[in-house]
Each structure stands twice: as structure tokens, then as C-alpha cells.
Amino acid sequence: MTAAHRPFIPIAKPLIGDEEKRAVMEVLDSGQLAQGARTEAFERVFADYIGVTHAIGVNSGTAALIVALQAHGVGPGDEVITTPFSFIATATSIVACGATPVFVDIDPFDLNLDPGLLEDAITDNTKAVMPVHLFGHPARVAEIREICEDLELALIEDAAQAHGAEHAGRRLGSFGTGCFSFYPTKNMTTGEGGIITTDDDEVARLCRIIRNHGQEQRYRHDYFGLNWRMQDVNAAIGLAQMDHIEGWNNARIANAEALSRLIRSVETPRVREGDRHVFHQYTVRLPGNRDAVQAALQEAGIGSAVHYPIPIHHQPIMQQLGFGEGSFPVAEAAADAVLSLPVHPSLGPEDVEYIAATINRVATR
Ligand SMILES: *Cc1c(COP(=O)(O)O)cnc(C)c1O
């Protein structure tokens, strides 16, 4: 089919079915609209899925990061080491706790925090390390965990894009304190929503207190907290999505494998041996001609997106940190080259072939 005859292929497509609609109606009919039994049920199912003892539902992935940082005692004067190549919430959640984000450059292989650069960035003020499993590809979190254990630093995984991804035989979000997002474009959704995963009883207890105004007893506030609670309507959607997440992840992986087999004209994403990459994004690299290729894809009826065009250390709100050009060269080169193509479970085999054929036609190495 020609571009004029095919429906536009969007970069993302949330999947909401009849079960989600029925589950939401049940919650509305029950009159339990705030955090209640559905949230508890969702927490249990999600904790089992990740392979941890506790999951704490909150109202966004950003909330998950802030609550997790505060549960680990991160506050003013503390430094948290993270990647400069991520969505802004990775760094602004640290700033929201009064702490300072300290960036280390990324590994060009997987575009995730390079553990080899970690030790040089650690100071007496370092409180935590926050790797991001960008696009659903695991950061080298087993190595990072060893360093954190040796130095008694908290390990907080930004797993907002990595539901069900695996490294060293375990699900991400089970190495340290895991933070997931259920925003509509993620691998599964609750509408807005997020969750924290942990095996640590004390961290879990603190997360539950902090998400509910810092109160353990009603109207007595021993900790600083705000309203980060999940709503039961959102938890009900999440519960229905749990029946599908593995099928959807497998569809993403199959689509990504087909794209990588068919695409010849650009650099395709790499997967480290033994890792399970869940392809929240399928991101190719186009140094030099990205804008022209993106326009040609649009013309051919294929959505694409740049994740992310500006590295965090160059964002206007981070200027006071004083990082100029060349501060983190691998992240800066990635920001100039990356382009995400559709990989979501709604693609049919002919969509995948059309995307690959179009890229091969419009992009040249
Ligand atoms: C989506 C995302 C977040 C924030 O999640 P929200 O639910 O949108 O608040 C944080 N970090 C990364 C890497 C993300 O992709």
C-alpha cells in the first residue's frame, strides 16, 4: 500500500479494553473513589510480577521517585548520582527533595549510566545512585548495586520505562528500590499512576507513610509527606492490564527483533547478552540527518519521536549547575542522534515491514 492509502502509524498507542472499562465502572459503583481495596490488590499483583515483597501505589512515576528518595532520607545537602540522558523527572525529583543531581556520562552501547564512571563521582555527600533503565533496556544495575552496597549508598532504580525487563536473571525494580510509571504511553497504564517496589520492610513502611501526608496515625505527622496516593479507579485499570503486560512485552520484543532484522540503513538498538529489553522505545541512531529522516517518515505516514533532544544538564532549569558543551559528550551525541520508531503491540507484521522499508529508503548511513 502507498502512504496515502494506509492509516497513520502512531509512535504510541495505549490499549484499553472492555475489562478496564468494566473494572472502572465497578469502582465508581462501589463509592470507594480514593485509595482502597483495589489499590491494595494491584500492589500485591505488581509486587509478585517484579518478584519483591512490597509494592506501594502512588499517583505518578514522578511521585514514585520523590517518595522513594524521601524514604531513603534524601534531603537538602545530599547528592544523588544519575544519568544526564533521561526524561526530566529523573532529575527534578531529586531537586524536589532539596538534593542535588550529580550526573555521570552514559555508556554508548545502551545509553544508560556507565558504572565505570560512578566511583569518581562519589563524594562524602553522596546519598543515593539512581540509574535509569532507558527505553526498557537494563542499566548494568548488578554492578551498580555492588558499588552501592560497598559504600552504603541507596540504590533507586528509575524503571519508569522497564516493566518486566530483566538483568542477571531478575526483574528490574528488584535490585534496589524500583520506581515505575503507568503513564498512558508506557508498556502498561493506569491512566496517570506509579508504583514503588522493594524488599526492604522499613523502606516500604516509610513510603506508605510519606505518600499519605507523612501520617502513621491519623492527623499526627511524624514525617514530611504530601498527597501521593493512588486512586482505586487507576488501580482497577492497572489490575486489568496485568493480564496483558507479558503478551504486550513479548509483542514489543518480536516487533523490535523484526525491525532489527529488516533495517539496514541505520544503527539499530543493541541488547546486552542475557538481558531482557522490553522496548518501551525502539530507538535508532541517525547522526547528521535525523530531522530530514523524521520529516520523510511523517510524509510516509509513520510517527516517530526524539527521546530526548536536550540532555538534562543542558536544560534551561539546570543552568545553575553550570554544565557547558562537552560536559557529558556521550549523552550530548546521543541527544543529537536518537530517533524512536513505532514498536508498540498494535503493529501488524505489514506495519513493521513498511516501517523498515521506509527507513531503508529515506535514511542512509
Ligand atoms: C515517564 C517517566 C517518568 C515519570 O513518570 P510520570 O508517570 O510521567 O510522572 C520518570 N522517569 C522516566 C525515565 C520516565 O520515562
From 80, 88, 183, the mutation candidate for ligand 1 (largest count of ligand atoms within 8 A of CB) is 183
d(CA 87, CA 185): 13
Q: What is each CA distance from 254 to 13, 235, 259, 302, in whole angstroms?
A: 17, 28, 9, 19
Contact 154, 177 (CB under 8 A): yes
Same domain, 279 and 224: no
Cα–ligand 1 centroid distance for 223 (angstroms): 25
Q: Is 90 in the pocket of ligand 1 (CB under 6 A)?
A: yes
Determine the pLDDT at residue 5. 78
Using DSSP, state whether 177 is helix, strand or coil: strand
Q: What is each CA distance from 239 to 14, 20, 53, 301, in whole angstroms?
A: 15, 8, 18, 34
Cα–ligand 1 centroid distance for 62 (angstroms): 6
What count of residues does the chain have?
365
Same domain, 203 and 297: no
- The number of distinct structural domains making up the chain is 2
**Domain contains 224:** yes
d(CA 312, CA 44): 34
CATH of the domain at 221: 3.40.640.10
Of 237, 235, 239, 211, whose CA–CA distance to 223 is shortest?
211
Same domain, 211 and 278: no
Cα–ligand 1 centroid distance for 115 (angstroms): 22
Radius of gyration of the chain from its Cα atoms, rounded to whole angstroms: 21
Q: Is 86 in the pocket of ligand 1 (CB under 6 A)?
A: yes
Q: Residue 291 class from Cβ within 10 Å (0-12 exposed, 13-18 middle, 19+ buried)?
A: exposed
**Domain contains 37:** yes
Q: Does residue 308 have a cis bond before it (omega within 30 degrees)?
A: yes
**Domain contains 10:** no
Of 297, 230, 217, whose CA–CA distance to 41 is shortest?
230
Using DSSP, state whether 293 is helix, strand or coil: helix
Using DSSP, state whether 158 is helix, strand or coil: strand
Q: Mind listing the pLDDT tens digit of every residue in the chain (365 residues)? A: 556 678 999 999 999 999 999 999 999 999 899 999 999 999 999 999 999 999 999 999 999 999 999 999 999 999 999 999 999 999 999 999 999 999 999 999 999 999 999 999 999 999 999 999 999 999 999 999 999 999 999 999 999 999 999 999 999 999 999 999 999 999 999 999 999 999 999 999 999 999 999 999 999 999 999 999 999 999 999 999 999 999 999 999 999 999 999 999 999 999 999 999 999 999 999 998 999 999 999 999 999 999 999 999 999 999 999 999 999 999 999 999 999 999 999 999 999 999 999 999 999 86
Same domain, 249 and 221: no
**Domain contains 75:** yes
Same domain, 48 and 184: yes
**Domain contains 291:** yes
Q: Is 183 in the pocket of ligand 1 (CB under 6 A)?
A: yes
Q: Considering 218, 242, 266, which residue would you say is the last residue of a domain? A: 242
d(CA 85, CA 79): 18
Domain holding 142, by residue range, is: 18-242
d(CA 108, CA 134): 12
Q: Name the pTM for this structure.
A: 0.97
Same domain, 213 and 72: yes
Q: Is 112 in the pocket of ligand 1 (CB under 6 A)?
A: no
Phi-psi sector, 315: left (phi>0), alpha (psi -120 to 50), beta: beta
Determine the pLDDT at residue 146. 98
Cα–ligand 1 centroid distance for 9 (angstroms): 23
- For residue 340, list its beta bridge partners: 283, 305
Contact 313, 329 (CB under 8 A): no
Q: Where are the alpha helices (DSSP H) in 97-200?
A: 118-121, 141-151
Q: Is 281 in the pocket of ligand 1 (CB under 6 A)?
A: no
CATH of the domain at 276: 3.90.1150.10
**Domain contains 74:** yes
d(CA 285, CA 270): 11
Same domain, 250 and 211: no
**Domain contains 12:** no
Q: What is the pLDDT of residues 229-287, one digit of tens each?
A: 999 999 999 999 999 999 999 999 999 999 999 999 999 999 999 999 999 999 999 99
Same domain, 237 and 250: no
Tally Cβ neighbours within 10 Å of residue 103: 24
Q: What is the position in ligand 1's atom list of the atom closest to the CA of 63?
A: 9
Q: Is 278 in the pocket of ligand 1 (CB under 6 A)?
A: no
Determine the pLDDT at residue 158. 99
Contact 130, 158 (CB under 8 A): yes
Q: Is 255 in the pocket of ligand 1 (CB under 6 A)?
A: no
Same domain, 154 and 252: no
Same domain, 235 and 287: no
Residue 289 C-beta-side C-alpha neighbours within 13 Å: 12
Residue 226 C-alpha cell reads as 504530601
Same domain, 55 and 134: yes
Q: Considering 199, 218, 242, which residue would you say is the last residue of a domain? A: 242
Residue 216 C-alpha cell reads as 502513621
Same domain, 166 and 41: yes
Contact 178, 157 (CB under 8 A): yes
**Domain contains 218:** yes
Q: Residue 31 class from Cβ within 10 Å (0-12 exposed, 13-18 middle, 19+ buried)?
A: exposed
Q: What is the position in ligand 1's atom list of the atom closest to the CA of 182?
A: 7
Cα–ligand 1 centroid distance for 190 (angstroms): 13
From 62, 83, 111, the mutation candidate for ligand 1 (largest count of ligand atoms within 8 A of CB) is 62
Q: Considering 213, 242, 271, which residue would you say is the last residue of a domain? A: 242
Q: Integer distance in angstroms from the first to the last C-alpha of the chain?
A: 26
